[in-house]
Amino acid sequence: MPREFDCVVVGAGLAGAALAIGLARFGLKVAAVDARKPVALVQGGDVRGLALAVSSQRLLNALDLWPKLAPRLTPIRRIEVSARGHFGGSTLCAEDVGLPALGHICPADHLQSTLDTALLNTPGLTPLFGAALAQLTVEEASVQLRLADSEPDAALRCRLVIAADGSQSAVRRHYRIEATHHDYQQTAIVANVDIARAQPDTACERLTAHGPCALLPLGGTRQVLVRTVPREQADRWLAASADNFLADVQQDFGWRLGRFSGLGERRAHPLVLNRANALTAPRAVLVGNAANTIHPNAAQGLNLALRDVAVLLDSLKECSRTGGDPGEATRLAAYAERRRADHARTVQFSDGLARLFALDWPLLGVARGAALVACDALPGLRRAVMRRLMGLGAPPPDWLRAAYAHD
């Protein structure tokens, strides 16, 4: 017989795990399904860092996870933006918006390991690792799921299935939800490096002819380098010697930050835009990359996904207390409407930047420099940009309103 749940979250990555933990803490009976194994934290690993905006910090704090992350976090108090070969620049400071930090960098394995530990220890939550969705059948009052690769193959029944299983979502395919796709023909090469004159708690964004190049602080001299290159050049830069790769990065950034060294493992991430044409289906809802996979400029993707989590938790928080149906169509439609504006603004912001900086017009570099000068000179514009980067542009969900009160 199928095991019965209120909600099944398919995909227990960063967003899916946070959502499953929150739903269980609200008193719902939840299963979280993922084909991977739990992440074991290995001290000393040279892993990439993830940028967590203020909105994500507040969600993770409300789930009692932020204190567990705190020992490995590096705050971002300044962001310096400049354009290679052109005048102008802009500096964004946390003190301009009255907050201690614009965001934090967290090692990816530390964040996932902390979430996995909570998945394994939260009452009312059943993690099913090493299992993949094989079949999904929608009934009037429930959804039945069959899982493959679990021991034994498992059958689940729930009132709501949540797709948090990434840009190639199996749940989305089962529901035949189409997605709008755009390939930027760019690849992000991510690696850790050492910077001789690293500025404490400072992130740098350098606009270059072939795309943006970012440095995110990991503490001390260690930084996360995110370098955007044309797709056809990606294999060449992945195969280049460490000396040649760093010499080219050095040319992009100049010597203001000192010598680049200590190149870590390089990872390539093709950059695409995927947007689901619908966020809901009968007894199903899409969150995170299953709904929107966006360009990583300005580090908006994960933070957009965690805002999905916060709003969906707000939409479902009363179901346990009142006995309400979490898969009710009107409830899901209301969630989709609440997310519509934030999705549109964030996609427009990241997509617009990606397309703008992909253009190679002679006068465009001048215009970019002028825009950076304007941002630096106009406090209102600068604060608006910072609030967007911190994820504070959308109205706060009710259940997190107390955390947002001083904004």
Full domain range(s) for residue 44:
3-73+105-180+272-366+396-404
Please check whether residue 121 lies inside any domain of the structure. Answer: yes
User: What number is the average pLDDT over the span 111-118?
Assistant: 95
Helices 14-25 & 54-62 angle (0-180, nearest 10) = 40
Provide the pLDDT confidence category of residue 126 given band limits of 50, 70 and 90.
Answer: very high
At residue 141, φ and ψ (nearest 5 deg) are -115, 5
At residue 25, φ and ψ (nearest 5 deg) are -70, -20
351: left (phi over 0), alpha (psi -120 to 50) or beta: alpha
Please check whether residue 389 lies inside any domain of the structure. Answer: no
Q: Is the pLDDT of residue 403 over 60?
A: no
Residue 281 sits in a domain whose CATH number is 3.50.50.60
Cα three-residue angle 181-186-190, rounded to 5 degrees: 115
Q: Is the pLDDT of residue 247 over 90?
A: yes
Whole-model pTM? Answer: 0.89
Please check whether residue 22 lies inside any domain of the structure. Answer: yes
Please check whether residue 266 lies inside any domain of the structure. Answer: no
User: What number is the average pLDDT over the span 34-63?
Assistant: 84
Q: What is the 3-state secondary structure (H, E, C) of 9-28?
A: EECCCHHHHHHHHHHHHCCC
User: Do residues 304 and 287 lie in contact, with contact meaning Cβ atoms separated by under 8 Å?
Assistant: no
Cis before 152? omega within 30: yes
Instruction: Report the percentage of the chain scoring pLDDT > 70.
Output: 84
Please check whether residue 187 lies inside any domain of the structure. Answer: no
Please state which of the ranges 90-94, 166-170, 173-177, 219-223 shows the lowest mean pLDDT.
90-94
Q: Is the pLDDT of residue 405 over 50?
A: no
Residue matched to tokens 């689940």: 156
Cα three-residue angle 106-117-12, rounded to 5 degrees: 80
Please check whether residue 159 lies inside any domain of the structure. Answer: yes
Measured between alpha carbons, how far is 83 from 328 in angstroms, rounded to an integer?
Answer: 50
Please check whether residue 49 lies inside any domain of the structure. Answer: yes
Measured between alpha carbons, how far is 327 from 162 in angstroms, rounded to an integer?
Answer: 10
pLDDT at 400: 73
Q: How many folded domains does the chain comprise?
A: 1
Q: Is the pLDDT of residue 365 over 80?
A: no
Provide the pLDDT confidence category of residue 256 given band limits of 50, 70 and 90.
Answer: confident
pLDDT tens string 302-360: 999 999 999 999 999 989 888 899 999 999 999 999 999 999 988 888 887 777 665 55
Please check whether residue 219 lies inside any domain of the structure. Answer: no
